[in-house]
Copies of this chain bind each other. A is one copy, B any other.
Amino acid sequence: MSLIKVAVSGCMGRMGIAVCETVMKAADMKLSAVADSKKDAGEAFGLKVADKITRDNSCGGVDVMVDFTHPSCVYENAAGALRRDISCIIGTTGLTCEQREELKRLTLERGLFTLVAPNFAIGAVLMMKFSAIASKFMGRAEIIEMHHDKKADAPSGTALLTAEMMAASYAGVKRLDEKVSLEGARGGESGGVNIHSVRLPGFLAHQQVIFGDAGQVLTIRHDSMSRDSFMPGVALAIRESVKRKGFYFGLETIMDMGF
């Protein structure tokens, strides 16, 4: 079996370093090129750090580029890679709709693979997908998300996205005659789903989606314990990049759930 040749763009960032380590540890992958705007960081990973992933800084060709850089350069990185027939896995946020459409066009035109994903934590992605399914069959649902007390905003983006993904199939009806003696006790509401945000020191990033129906409760919970949580998802995307063609949005779209 030939190795999957991987380039990492943003290789000196926190996520980029982790991706490089993941690739180097994987028996079926090879780290072939790295790039970062901070080139002065020296020869990381035994490779010359370039500005961008180009033919020149790649030792022997690249199958797929993983990009964890910055909204300001992600489009240019990805379009450049696709034009050189390199597939793309993009974890950087900030692509505009037009940019996404152009990347899609380039991907399809050249028969390549591109994945744009806001979240690579497989467990979190499964939690959201399962919640969307369960909301079709269970009566009502509420979300509790728990984060460390330094988190700036509430609720979390994941909680809001989960509620959005549930909305299409959710039929829970809000009770109108609730008597709330302490303002806010029933949480916030998005698409009929109440959301509660807990902020305490000690927590990292956790969420549970609770479904209730006659005589039963179903709870789907995800605990993010460290940044490592993104790595199995990145590895899965790299492996799929040489098996599939097409433009994908969201890690769940390349996970074959077997239905």
Contacts and interface: CB of A to CB of B under 8 A. Distances in A.
A106 to B, nearest CB: 29
**Number of copies of this chain that the complex holds:** 4
Give the interface SS of chain A, mostly helix, strand, loop or mixed: mixed
Interface stretch (A5-13, A75-83, A184-192): A184-192
Given A137-B122, A188-B183, A257-B259, A227 B215 contact: yes
Contacts of A182: 154-155, 160, 188-190, 195
A140 B175 CA distance: 32
Contacts of A219: 219-223
Contacts of A213: 122-123, 201-202, 229, 232
Interface of A: 121-124, 126-127, 130, 133-134, 136-142, 144, 146, 149, 152-155, 160, 169, 175, 178-190, 194-204, 210-232, 236, 255, 257-259
26 contacts: A121-B216, A122-B213, A122-B216, A124-B216, A126-B133, A127-B218, A137-B255, A144-B196, A149-B212, A152-B178, A153-B179, A155-B185, A184-B184, A196-B198, A198-B210, A202-B213, A202-B216, A202-B229, A214-B229, A214-B232, A216-B228, A217-B223, A218-B221, A218-B223, A220-B220, A220-B221
